[in-house]
């Protein structure tokens, strides 16, 4: 059986280089003494200097826009955004460094919303509300919503996105293409609105993703729900991790495609009866299947995961199973809202696997085999062993080391949307799965990070014999430096030991907190060590420390301030520059170097960049005493923009008796060649030819859609209807059948 699943085509951007952010924070490395904190406020002004959180004597006061602020930042700088709604997109191109990252966050916990004004902003086909191109940029504590396309895109390396909520965007919520990145404790819901009610035949997006060639990037502790696409995914990448996440009631809760060396662990997936996506798709809790074979999936690990109620709880193609381990998962009750032959608790599609192991899992199916299979097996070459089955599986999945019995799951608590607890999947101490697993060095801990006994128990949770191991503590604080009064958000974590845990923070200035995560304001300059202490149920103690540097206001420092009317655009790009100074001794004189051999002088100058490229622009300001200060800006000039991509299609005939043979013709104009043609014929089949032929065997009205994608991954589409046999239209949304398993890769 082959695959279908294409992504929202806005995904692009760059790859190569892992964030050392947590290490930097743990070691307490301070930002450089010259680091600056900039402020943004809805009542600010982009002509001010951005150095105070509220307006003072001009030019003191916050900036008005995020885009203006992005021009100013340099390594080690912090951007604090005052509460309010900001209706504009911004792109951040400047790099931080390993020891001096750029930090973008909310001010003092205030509510910051970046808003696309009802999916109309930013204008254009590829509108992104918050886009990070620079390396070593850290974004946190924001809400991003209603984008015309995507909420947050990070293509820089060594970047992080933490505690960001992205929702109601027409395409993706949050995605990262850069290397060594981290998406942590984020939330995404009701994204991919352009595919609402599954209207798109071959293109949809996701809530959160690490995709299009990232490496060593982690999605951790995130929650994604009710997206008209995937909840959480990784595709076309290597060495990426998805862990400790929750995803429910999406069209597909988790998706792994075209990926090598993926670690997928300790995730929870579930579908509740009657959820919004269920009538429009086959809901997979965990789905793995290649689309491009770039790279071909192999060497992936799926361990300690929990799934409930999907039409397939775990489904994977045989071609994606080479050198893969599927172990210590607990999968419960595939649902039966589709044809019984398509529904299964575990579904292994066709193909041949090499060195694939399915070991120490628990599969529970309460419904009869005639309703939902406990295991659908087409793949050849899988080694099954030491699995727990609530009833006997198909012959190829059986092993003499199996346990075929009720595993006695506790099933305690609600299974409603947003309420299912992982503890629901724990087994009673009398479970027949206890001690019946095979020891695996790759799975030393269970879902709760407790050490596994030897021999281990089957399933994601230990039943007996597990211990928490040595108690450890870790801590981080953001920002790690800035000017007083400095508000720092601290996060503490404990692992091992024995629950429950007690927490205590000592901030180094006399302040304390008993919360696991805390916010503290440092009012005086100095270097502080915040200590995080964890005490477990056995009264064991572990500590971690975070360094914080607080600097006093320095008003006399001589600095240069420059602005540019545009930071990027197609050639020829005309840019207006303005420059001035602050501190030192006025009056000031300004000189400019544009990075292409040209220069100019004066506080206001204009320059046109005629060729595509990246240009380092430097403003040098000289005061009356001949002291100098400089500011650097980067201008990105892209090749000239082609005309808008458009599509046309024709068919002959458009009506007639069934069986009806139809010749289709597709054409593209504008955009940038070469083009890809993707046809959906409305009867569950499609084609990648430009001018295909198709026969409609049955009478009905068929919605035909042509999607055209150019070399820049821009897309456009056209639709038409074909009437075969003169009968009334089938009750099928535009784009094909509602319930059947897709059967072909359409690109």
What pLDDT digit, counting tens, does each position of 380-415 carry? Answer: 999 999 999 999 999 999 999 999 999 999 999 899
Mean pLDDT of 128-132: 95
Does the pLDDT at position 45 exceed 50? yes
The pLDDT assigned to 189 comes to 95
- For residue 77, pLDDT over 90 is answered with yes
Q: In angstroms, rounded to a whole number, what is the distance separating the alpha carbons of residues 636 and 616?
A: 9
CATH class of the domain defined by 646-724:
mainly beta
Nearest to 281 by CA among 306, 311, 257, 255: 311
* Whether the Cβ atoms of residue 328 and residue 446 lie closer than 8 Å to each other: yes
Question: Fold identical between 472-551 and 559-638?
Answer: yes
Report the distance separating Cα 690 and Cα 680, nearest Å: 12
The reported pLDDT for the residue numbered 341 is 61
| CATH, domain range 472-551 | 2.60.40.10
Please compute the mean of the pLDDT values over residues 607-616 and round it to a whole number: 88
Residue 243 CA neighbour count, 13 Å, CB half: 16
Of 514-523, 530-539, 671-680, 738-747, the range with the lowest mean pLDDT is: 738-747
Give me the helices (H) in 153-216, please: none
DSSP, res 204: B
Q: Give the best-scoring range by mean pLDDT among 219-228, 502-511, 619-628.
A: 219-228
Q: Per-residue pLDDT averaged across 702-729, rounded?
A: 75
Model confidence band, residue 614 (pLDDT cutoffs 50, 70, 90): confident
> Quick one: pLDDT at residue 396?
93
> Would you say 619 and 590 are in contact if contact means Cβ atoms under 8 Å apart?
yes
- List the single range of 274-278, 472-476, 538-542 with lowest mean pLDDT: 538-542
CATH class of 559-638: mainly beta
- Of residues 7 and 683, more confidently modeled: 683
Give, as one character, the DSSP assignment of residue 140: E
DSSP 562: E
What is the per-residue pLDDT across 139-176, written as a single tens digit (0 to 9) for each?
999 999 999 999 999 999 999 999 999 999 999 999 99
Question: Is the CATH code 1.10.760.10 the one for domain 10-243?
Answer: no
Over residues 120-139, mean pLDDT: 89
Contact 353, 380 (CB under 8 A): yes
> On the CB side of 292, how many CA atoms lie within 13 Å of its CA?
16
- As a 3-state breakdown, the chain gives helix, strand, coil percent values, each rounded to 5, of 5, 45, 50
Instruction: Report the percent of the chain where pLDDT is more than 90.
Output: 56
**DSSP readout, 359-420?**
ES-EEE--S-TTTSEEEEE--EEEEEES-EESS---GGG--TT-EES---B---S--STTT-
What was the pLDDT predicted at 714? 66
Q: What is the pLDDT of residue 338?
A: 66
* pLDDT tens column, 207-253: 999 999 999 999 999 999 999 999 999 999 999 999 999 999 999 99
Among residues 56, 30, 32, which one has the least CA distance to residue 44? 56
Position 554 pLDDT exceeds 60 = no
* DSSP conformation class of 645: P
The pLDDT tens digits of the residues spanning 14-40 come to 333 333 333 333 333 344 657 999 999
Which tens digits make up the pLDDT trace of 292-336?
888 999 999 999 999 999 999 999 998 899 999 999 999 999 998
Q: Tell which residue, 173, 151, 284, has the closest CA to residue 219.
A: 173
To the nearest whole number, what is the mean pLDDT of the chain? Answer: 85
β-bridge partners, 156 = none
Using an 8 Å Cβ cutoff, are 309 and 268 in contact?
A: no
Q: Which of 289-293, 570-574, 657-661 has the highest mean pLDDT?
A: 657-661
- The pLDDT of residue 527: 73
Q: Pick 733 or 178 by higher pLDDT.
A: 178
User: Read out DSSP for 484-548?
Assistant: SSEEEEEEEEEESS-S--EEEEE-SSS-EE-SSEEEEEE-S-EEEEEEEEEE-TT--EEEEEEEE
- Domain chopping of the chain, boundaries: 10-243, 472-551, 559-638, 646-724
Taking 70 as the threshold, does the pLDDT of residue 465 lie above it?
no
Greater confidence (315 vs 197) lies with 315
pLDDT range class, residue 340, cuts 50, 70, 90: low
Q: Assess whether pLDDT exceeds 50 at residue 291.
A: yes
Confidence at residue 541, expressed as pLDDT on a 0 to 100 scale: 66
Whether the per-residue pLDDT at 455 is higher than 80: the answer is yes
Contact 141, 165 (CB under 8 A): no
pLDDT, residue 557, reads: 58
């Amino acid at each position: 059986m082959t695959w279908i699943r294409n992504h929202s085509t806005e995904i692009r951007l760059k790859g190569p280089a892992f964030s050392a952010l947590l290490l930097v924070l743990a070691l307490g490395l301070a930002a450089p003494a010259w680091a600056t904190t900039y402020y943004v406020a809805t009542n600010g002004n982009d002509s001010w200097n951005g150095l105070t959180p509220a307006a003072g004597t001009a030019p003191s006061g916050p900036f008005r826009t995020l885009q203006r602020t992005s021009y100013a930042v340099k390594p080690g700088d912090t951007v604090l955004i005052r509460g309010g709604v900001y209706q504009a997109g911004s792109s951040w191109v400047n790099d931080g460094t390993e020891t001096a990252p750029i930090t973008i966050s909310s001010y003092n916990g205030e509510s910051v919303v970046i808003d696309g004004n009802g999916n109309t902003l930013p204008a254009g086909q590829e509108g992104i509300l918050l886009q990070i191109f620079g390396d070593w940029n850290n974004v946190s504590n924001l809400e991003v919503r209603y984008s015309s396309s995507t909420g947050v895109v990070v293509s820089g390396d060594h970047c992080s996105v933490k505690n960001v909520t992205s929702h109601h965007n027409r395409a993706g919520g949050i995605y990262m293409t850069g290397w060594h990145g981290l998406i942590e404790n984020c939330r995404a819901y009701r994204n991919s609105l352009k595919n609402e009610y599954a209207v798109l035949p071959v293109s949809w997006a996701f809530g959160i993703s690490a995709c299009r060639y990232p490496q060593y990037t982690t999605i951790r502790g995130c929650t994604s729900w009710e997206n008209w696409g995937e909840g959480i995914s990784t595709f076309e990448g290597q060495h990426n991790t998805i862990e400790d996440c929750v995803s429910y009631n999406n069209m597909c809760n988790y998706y792994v495609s075209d990926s090598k060396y993926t670690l997928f662990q300790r995730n929870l997936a579930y579908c509740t009866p009657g959820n919004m996506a269920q009538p429009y798709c086959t809901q997979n809790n965990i789905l793995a299947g290649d689309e491009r074979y770039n790279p071909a999936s192999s060497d992936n690990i799926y361990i300690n995961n929990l799934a409930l109620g999907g039409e397939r709880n775990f489904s994977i193609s045989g071609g994606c199973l080479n050198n893969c381990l599927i172990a210590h998962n607990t999968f419960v009750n595939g649902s039966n809202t589709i044809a019984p032959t398509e529904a299964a608790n575990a579904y292994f599609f066709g193909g041949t696997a090499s060195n694939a192991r399915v070991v120490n899992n628990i599969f529970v199916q309460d419904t009869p085999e005639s309703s939902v299979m406990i295991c659908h097996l087409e793949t050849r070459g899988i080694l099954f062993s030491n699995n727990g089955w609530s009833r006997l599986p198909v012959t190829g999945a059986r092993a003499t080391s199996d346990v075929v019995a009720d595993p006695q799951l506790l099933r305690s608590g609600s299974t409603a949307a947003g309420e299912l607890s992982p503890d629901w999947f724990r087994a009673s101490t009398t479970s027949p799965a206890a001690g019946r697993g095979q020891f695996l060095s790759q799975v030393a801990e269970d879902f709760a990070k407790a050490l596994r006994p030897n021999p281990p128990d089957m399933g994601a949770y230990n039943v007996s014999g597990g211990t928490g191991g040595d108690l450890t503590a870790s801590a981080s604080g953001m920002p790690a430096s800035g000017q007083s009064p400095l508000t720092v958000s601290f996060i503490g974590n404990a692992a091992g030991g024995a629950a429950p845990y007690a927490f205590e923070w000592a901030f180094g200035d006399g302040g304390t907190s008993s919360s696991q995560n805390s916010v503290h304001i440092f009012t005086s300059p100095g270097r502080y060590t915040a200590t995080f202490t964890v005490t477990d149920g056995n009264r064991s103690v572990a500590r971690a420390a975070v360094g914080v540097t607080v600097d006093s206001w320095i008003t006399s420092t001589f600095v240069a301030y420059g602005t540019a009317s545009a930071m990027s655009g197609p050639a020829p790009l005309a840019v207006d520059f303005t420059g001035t100074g602050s501190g030192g001794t006025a009056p000031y004189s300004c000189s400019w170097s544009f990075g292409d051999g040209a220069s100019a002088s004066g506080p206001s100058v204009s320059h046109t960049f005629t060729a595509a490229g990246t240009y380092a622009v430097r403003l040098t300001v000289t005061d009356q005493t001949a002291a100098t200060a400089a500011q650097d800006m980067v201008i990105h000039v892209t090749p000239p923009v082609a005309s808008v991509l458009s599509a046309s299609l024709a068919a002959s005939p458009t009506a007639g008796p069934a069986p009806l043979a139809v010749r289709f013709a597709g054409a593209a104009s504008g955009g940038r060649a070469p083009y890809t043609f993707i046809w959906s014929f409305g009867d569950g089949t499609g084609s990648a030819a430009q001018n295909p032929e198709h026969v409609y065997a049955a009478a009905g009205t068929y919605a035909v859609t042509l999607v055209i994608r150019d070399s820049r991954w821009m897309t456009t589409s056209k639709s038409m209807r074909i009437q075969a046999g003169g009968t009334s239209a089938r009750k099928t949304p535009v784009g094909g059948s509602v319930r059947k398993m897709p059967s072909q890769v359409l690109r």
